[in-house]
Amino acid sequence: MTPLLDVRGLRKYFPIRGGWLGGAPRMVRAVDGVSFQIASGEVLGLVGESGCGKTTVGRTVLRLLKPTEGSIRFEGEEIAALPDRALRPLRRKMQMIFQDPYASLNPRMRIADIVGEPLRIHRLAAGAALEERVVALLEQVGLGREDLARYPHEFSGGQRQRVGIARALAVSPALLIADEPLSALDVSIQAQVLNLLQDLRERHRLAFLFISHDLHLVRYFSDRVAVMYLGEIVEEAQVEALFTAPRHPYTEALLSAVPIPDPTRKRRRILLPGDVPNPADPPPGCRFHTRCPKAFNRCRVEAPRVTEPAPGHRAACHLAE
């Protein structure tokens, strides 16, 4: 069966200013050879530290950014090189929910227009039918007709995130790219919005690329999880396999670093030394070797291949071979 989304060898480089001493312009290798698939109705969690390339993956898949290299197939169709004007039908099927519910809604637009806009752009509804459709969408996210004439500033953060979700759902997408959809929200509101996403996923068989740095939420919501480090996916597996039997030393350290809200359970944290290197100048060999507690000589010179230590479980580490 063809997956809904099939990404192979995706690269996105950004030029950075200051070709130092007049040298060639340098490149930030934000995404550097990433491959993954998402089946219809499946949730792939994407985790990793700030700057590792998660948002860039999401924006490139949506073709808000033009890939530097690689293939992106959506429902079997290659979209990596499609010209912008050919992307419109695609935009109906893939939608994005953003991190910041404050910044992503136009403050001068009423809720009716914010949620109705994609319907108008794609000529899916007009007039009274449009309004009815908008009301139905608002009701799906726990808002209602009385909210049509209100403006974003009249809502709380959680409600604004609901408006963003209603807007994304307007065109009945098959895939939602949710980039930190909960991280601007308070704990008690996170649960409300996560329950909503859970309902929508079941009701519409929605697939998600769920980007988050909150590993508790990722574990709760995802079917499979991919871990990124410096532009690469270093490990990918079914959610429970990844959390209970990680094969990559970075995943191990990341999992051990997450505080658990249970004072009766004491664990040993694996402390990684140092900082994440600059993606404009990644280390040679294994990119993680500067911080890896298990690094050995080979790691400094030879980049590990992706291997499959268990069925459906992939890791890029010499020790996982």
Ligand X SMILES: Nc1ncnc2c1ncn2[C@@H]1O[C@H](COP(=O)(O)OP(=O)(O)OP(=O)(O)O)[C@@H](O)[C@H]1O
CB-CB neighbours of 308 under 10 Å: 14
Closer CB to ligand SF4, residue 6 or residue 32? 32
Indicate whether 261 belongs to the interface with another protein (CB under 8 A). yes
Nearest alpha carbon to residue 63 among 45, 41, 89, 36 = 89
**Residue ranges binding ligand SF4 (CB under 6 A):** 248-249, 286, 288-289, 292, 294-295, 299, 304, 317-319
Indicate whether 55 belongs to the interface with Mg ion (CB under 5 A). yes
From ligand X, ligand SF4, another protein, none, which one binds at residue 24 (CB under 5 to 8 Å depending on kind)?
none
Indicate whether 224 belongs to the interface with another protein (CB under 8 A). no
Cα distances (Å, whole numbers) of residue 175 to 95, 98, 168, 202? 7, 14, 10, 13
At 234, is the secondary structure helix, strand, or coil?
A: strand
Q: Nearest 5 degrees, angle CA 158-CA 225-CA 168?
A: 35
The minimum distance between CB 134 and Mg ion, in angstroms, equals 29
The minimum distance between CB 301 and ligand SF4, in angstroms, equals 11
Closer CB to Mg ion, residue 135 or residue 177? 177
**Residue ranges binding ligand X (CB under 6 A):** 14, 16, 28, 30, 48, 50-56, 213, 279
The minimum distance between CB 15 and ligand X, in angstroms, equals 8
From Mg ion, ligand SF4, another protein, none, which one binds at residue 55 (CB under 5 to 8 Å depending on kind)?
Mg ion
Indicate whether 256 belongs to the interface with another protein (CB under 8 A). yes
**Sign for the pseudo-dihedral over CA of 118, 122, 128, 129:** negative
Helical residues (DSSP H) of the chain, grouped into ranges: 54-61, 88-93, 111-121, 127-140, 157-169, 187-204, 215-221, 239-244, 249-257, 297-301
